[in-house]
Structure formats: structure tokens, C-alpha cells
């Protein structure tokens, strides 16, 4: 018998009269609803709610969870969005009573433990970035970008400089131009170069006294390290601008090189990607920013300061930088994710962080070599933590698209990689295996892709075949979502 507990909605499973609980008899005098709630505040009819037993509800959600792909259940090689295993130890530590039950309005003197952790997190993030001033406020990576651009705008405003232009390469994350536009800057996109890297000469042609910020991801979204980054940073600085490093790909360079050392002035972290934290469904995340000392006064507050008395005693306090752009998030930011990242850093230490990047790069290059006969990589002979294969060969010879391959992978039990990004690669499949996957998993993934490369194209066009829904209209689902259910829709 087909189990439909996961594929049917609770409304569809509803049976009139079923209940998951039974209320006790009232022990107070009964009153009519008319007496308790004036008629103008009451709905015209009771809401339509599913009627189910507790076991109906439990089985529905447990079965539904088995239809999901996650890092806890499947290999998840989603390029440009590090999806690695999150040690459960950090979940337990972040939920300790003294942390999880702390009220955000608790007095500073009663929150010294939390403030010490956040202060030490600021210090560690500054050290890893090579940029000493840190604000933990931004709630996610994209908000970190936006925040840093507001900091840059405040800095230039204080200097009396009218700089309006933000430049970024065509391989930039889409959030880069979105953040720049939202912060009030004009966006200038560089043309893609043949080797996938920023062309310094092309960049030079766009530099003038209106240049405010150059935004660059390094390693970039093709999984290549921008080898001219120091020269590029020097060009930006000579023009009076600032260099922003999108920290989305920090998983490749931890403990090996630092944005501040190769010329960055500002950066954001994706704590939930680079370090640890639940990741998916839009959050929660944390996007702290790190900046050079001359930008510190503009950071969003509060930041945590450490005071040491003459007797050696230490206290921690919250403070707003003198020219702060203001708050970006309530309280201290997304503390739950920051705590998980803090414990990840404490667990691994400096040597462990470097090993993370070395293994992430090793795994990516291993898989790249395993797949190059069916999915060649157009740019670069080696990659960092991810690589971008092209499915053009498959499309030209067999009519099989990158989307066909991605959908078919679901039938083999693998989450699909990012497809069709960056746009500079035809039929792009961006694959990031991460450092937490074994050789056996990588081999199995490679074998699945080789099997797909010899399967009937017509069958691939209809994939996946093992999921409740095969090929939904993804554009309509994104732009015209129907997030509610009513009996009339069901009819």
C-alpha cells in the first residue's frame, strides 16, 4: 500500500471528529461567547482546521522529513554555498542553560559569560580575517555585505568625498550588486575574462575618483584564487577606494591566507557556512563583518569591549562605536549561530582550521579529476574548495542539459549541485564536496554521474523518477507561490 502520509496535506488527511487531545471539563462558570468577545472582534465563522489524531500528525511529519535532502541524510555538493556536516556537539554546547536561557534584556553584570564569549568571537574572527575590528551584528552574509557598504559610505561621507561607484566581476554572487544598489551606490560589472579571473587592465579602465568599493570573492565562484589580488587591491587603494572581500568562500583559505593580508579592507563571514550551524531554508545565519582599524568607528553597535582594572579583574560591556551607522539587528545579533561558530573554532583550533581548508581543497580536486572526462572544467587546471564543470559536452552530443543531470542525481540519492551559475560557464554545474566527505562518498558520487552520462536522454529529460513531484514549474513556484490551502483550491 502506498504511504501517502508525507505527500498528502494535513487538510487532506483530516477526518471530521478526530482529535489529538481532549480538554478537561471546565471548572469555572460557563459564559457565552457573546459576553466574552464583542461581535465586531469575532470572525464570521470558525477557521477550517484539519481534524487528526496525534499519531496522524506525528506520522505525517516524520514521513515528510524522510523526503527531504539535508547534510544529515545525503551528500550535498552545493557549490558556492558550503553545506558541510555540523558536529552535534556544538548544538549541545550552544543550548547550555546559561546560554540558551539567557534573556536578551539581562543586565550586563549578569551576562558576563555571554559577553566574554562574544568578545572572544570578535577577536578570533578578526585574527582569521587579518582585519582587527569586528561587529557581530549582521544576521546573514547578504546583510553583512550591505552593512559593510553602509560603513564605507559613512567613511567617505566623513571625509567629504563623493564616491558613488561599486565595481564587481561578472562572477560575483548576485547579492553583491543587490547590496550595493540597496546601499545607494551605482553598480559597475566587469566583463568576464577567458581565464575566469579579474583582468587588472579591464578593472583599471573603470577606476576614477568616483570609485568607492571593489567587491570580490576570493577564491571566486569558479573556485579559483584571484592570483592578482594584491595588485588589484593596490589599484583600488591608489584610486582612493576600498576593497571588500565576500567571505562566502572562506572555507578554502582558513589558516592559509587572510583577506587583510592580501589587501581587503572589509569582509563578511558566513558563520553558518564557514564554521558551523544549521544551514538551509533561509536561515538562521550570521554575517559578522571585519574591517580595518580606520573603519572601526563606523561599525554597527553594540560591540563588546573588554575592560581590565588595575587589580587585573576583567569586565565586559556593550558599546556603540562613536560614529556608528546604528543597529543592524536587535540585541547582539543571531547569537545562537555565533555560539555554534565559537565552539567550532574552539574545538578545532588554528591547526584544525587549516586542515579544514586543506581537506576541502583536496576533496574538490580529487572529484574534479574523477569527472573531467564527462564534465570538463573550462577554467583553471586546479581548483580551490569548489569547481565549475560544464555540461556543454553532454548537451551537444546527447541533448542532456545540466538540469537533466542535476534532477537525475536525486534518483541516485545525491543532492544536486548548483546549476547555471556562474553565467560565464555554459551548462554550469558548480560542485563543492567540502572537507567532511569521505573518499567513498566522492567515489559513489562520481560513479553516479558516469552512470547518468550513459543513460537514455529521454529518460533523463523526465527525471527525477523517485520523488513525489518530478519537474515542478520552478519559476512559477518562486514568483507565484501558493502557501495556503483551502477546500476551494482542493476542489
Sketch out the chain's domains with CATH numbers.
5-63 (no CATH), 89-347 (3.40.640.10), 351-473 (3.90.1150.10)
Q: How far apart are CA 333 and CA 269, in angstroms?
A: 13
What pLDDT sits at residue 310? 95
Structure confidence by residue, pLDDT tens digits, 82-128: 899 989 999 999 999 999 999 989 999 999 999 999 999 999 999 99
**481: left (phi > 0), else alpha (psi -120 to 50), else beta?**
beta
Cβ pair 224, 384 in contact under 8 A: yes
pLDDT of residue 3: 80
Q: Quick one: residue 383, left, alpha or beta (phi over 0 = left, psi -120 to 50 = alpha)?
A: beta
* Residue 67: predicted pLDDT: 86
Q: What does the pLDDT read at residue 282?
A: 53
Lowest mean pLDDT among 225-239, 271-285, 311-325: 271-285
- When pLDDT is cut at 50, 70 and 90, the band that residue 346 belongs to is very high
Here the cell at position 51 is: 481534524
Cα–Cα distance between 284 and 336 in angstroms, integer?
A: 9
Instruction: Using a pLDDT cut of 90, give the percent of the chain over it.
Output: 79
Q: Which pLDDT band, with edges at 50, 70 and 90, does 487 fall under?
A: low
Angle 467-469-474 from CA coordinates, rounded to 5°: 125
pLDDT band at 490 (very low <50, low <70, confident <90, very high): very low
Residue-level length of the chain:
491
- pLDDT at residue 298, rounded to an integer: 98
- Whether the per-residue pLDDT at 488 is higher than 60: the answer is no
Q: Is 289 helix (H, G, I), strand (E, B) or coil?
A: strand
Residue with the three cell numbers 565595481: 167
Residue 14 pLDDT > 50: yes
pLDDT computed for residue 280 by the predictor: 56
Top pLDDT among 319 and 69 is at 319
Q: Are 422 and 221 in contact (CB under 8 A)?
A: yes
Strand 186-189 vs strand 165-168: parallel, antiparallel, or unpaired?
parallel
Q: Which residues make beta-bridge pairs with 319?
A: 303
What is the spatial distance between Cα 342 and Cα 116, in angstroms, rounded to a whole number? 11
Tell me how far apart the alpha carbons of residues 297 and 477 are, in angstroms, rounded to a whole number. 44
pLDDT band at 283 (very low <50, low <70, confident <90, very high): low
Mean pLDDT across 480-491: 68
Distance of CA 185 to the CA centre of its chain: 24
What is the tens place of the pLDDT at every residue in 29-84? Answer: 999 888 899 999 999 888 888 999 999 999 999 999 888 888 889 999 998 888 99
Distances (CA, A) of 220 to 101, 145, 366, 375: 40, 16, 19, 20
Residue 491 is predicted with a pLDDT of 46
pLDDT of residue 171: 82
Residue 483: what pLDDT? 80
For the chain, helix, strand, coil in percent to 5 are 40, 10, 50
Per-residue pLDDT tens for 133-192?
999 999 989 999 999 999 999 999 999 999 999 999 988 888 999 999 999 999 999 988
Instruction: State the pTM of this model.
Output: 0.90
Cis peptide before 259 (omega within 30 of 0): no
Amino acid at each position: 500500500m502506498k504511504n501517502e502520509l508525507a505527500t498528502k496535506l494535513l487538510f487532506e488527511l483530516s477526518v471530521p471528529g478526530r482529535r489529538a487531545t481532549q480538554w478537561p471539563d471546565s471548572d469555572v462558570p460557563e459564559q457565552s461567547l457573546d459576553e466574552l468577545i464583542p461581535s465586531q472582534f469575532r470572525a464570521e465563522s470558525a477557521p477550517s482546521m484539519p481534524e487528526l489524531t496525534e499519531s496522524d500528525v506525528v506520522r505525517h511529519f516524520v514521513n515528510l522529513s524522510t523526503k527531504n535532502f539535508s547534510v544529515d541524510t545525503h551528500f550535498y555538493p552545493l557549490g558556492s554555498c558550503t553545506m558541510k556536516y555540523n558536529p552535534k556537539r556544538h548544538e549541545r554546547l550552544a543550548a547550555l542553560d546559561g546560554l540558551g536561557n539567557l534573556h536578551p534584556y539581562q543586565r550586563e553584570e549578569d551576562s558576563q559569560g555571554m559577553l566574554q564569549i562574544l568578545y572572544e568571537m570578535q577577536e578570533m574572527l578578526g585574527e582569521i580575517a587579518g582585519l582587527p575590528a569586528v561587529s557581530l551584528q549582521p544576521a546573514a552574509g547578504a546583510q553583512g555585505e550591505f552593512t559593510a557598504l553602509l560603513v564605507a559610505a559613512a567613511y567617505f561621507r566623513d571625509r567629504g568625498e563623493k564616491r558613488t561607484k561599486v565595481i564587481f566581476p561578472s562572477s560575483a554572487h548576485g547579492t553583491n550588486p543587490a547590496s550595493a544598489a540597496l546601499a545607494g551606490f551605482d553598480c559597475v560589472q566587469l566583463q568576464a575574462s577567458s581565464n575566469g579571473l579579474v583582468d587588472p587592465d579591464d578593472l583599471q579602465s573603470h577606476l576614477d575618483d568616483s570609485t568607492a568599493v571593489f567587491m570580490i570573492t576570493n577564491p571566486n565562484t569558479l573556485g579559483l584564487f584571484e592570483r592578482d589580488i594584491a595588485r588589484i587591491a593596490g589599484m583600488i587603494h591608489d584610486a582612493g577606494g576600498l576593497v571588500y572581500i565576500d567571505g562566502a568562500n572562506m572555507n578554502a583559505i582558513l589558516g592559509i591566507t587572510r583577506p587583510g593580508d592580501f589587501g581587503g579592507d572589509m569582509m563578511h563571514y558566513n558563520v553558518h557556512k564557514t564554521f558551523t550551524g544549521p544551514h538551509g531554508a533561509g536561515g538562521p545565519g550570521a554575517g559578522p563583518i571585519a574591517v580595518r582599524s580606520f573603519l572601526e568607528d563606523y561599525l554597527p553597535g553594540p560591540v563588546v569591549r573588554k575592560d581590565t582594572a588595575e587589580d587585573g579583574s576583567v569586565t565586559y560591556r556593550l558599546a556603540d562605536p562613536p560614529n556608528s551607522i546604528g543597529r543592524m539587528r536587535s540585541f547582539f545579533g543571531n547569537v545562537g549561530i555565533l555560539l555554534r561558530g565559537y565552539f567550532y573554532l574552539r574545538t578545532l583550533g588554528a591547526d584544525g582550521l587549516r586542515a579544514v581548508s586543506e581537506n576541502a581543497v583536496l576533496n574538490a580536486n580529487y572529484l574534479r579529476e574523477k569527472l573531467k572526462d564527462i564534465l570538463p572544467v573550462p577554467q583553471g587546471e586546479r581548483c580551490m574548495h569548489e569547481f565549475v564543470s560544464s555540461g556543454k559536452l553532454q548537451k551537444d552530443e546527447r541533448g542532456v542539459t545540466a538540469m537533466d543531470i542535476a534532477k537525475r542525481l536525486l534518483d541516485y540519492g545525491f543532492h544536486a549541485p548548483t546549476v547555471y551559475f556562474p553565467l560565464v560557464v555554459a551548462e554550469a554545474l558548480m560542485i563543492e564536496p567540502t572537507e567532511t566527505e569521505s573518499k567513498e562518498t566522492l567515489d559513489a558520487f562520481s560513479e553516479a554521474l558516469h552512470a547518468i552520462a550513459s543513460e537514455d536522454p529521454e529518460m533523463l529529460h523526465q527525471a527525477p523518477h523517485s520523488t513525489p513531484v518530478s519537474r515542478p514549474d520552478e519559476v512559477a513556484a518562486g514568483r507565484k507561490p501558493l502557501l495556503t490551502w483551502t477546500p476551494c483550491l482542493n476542489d
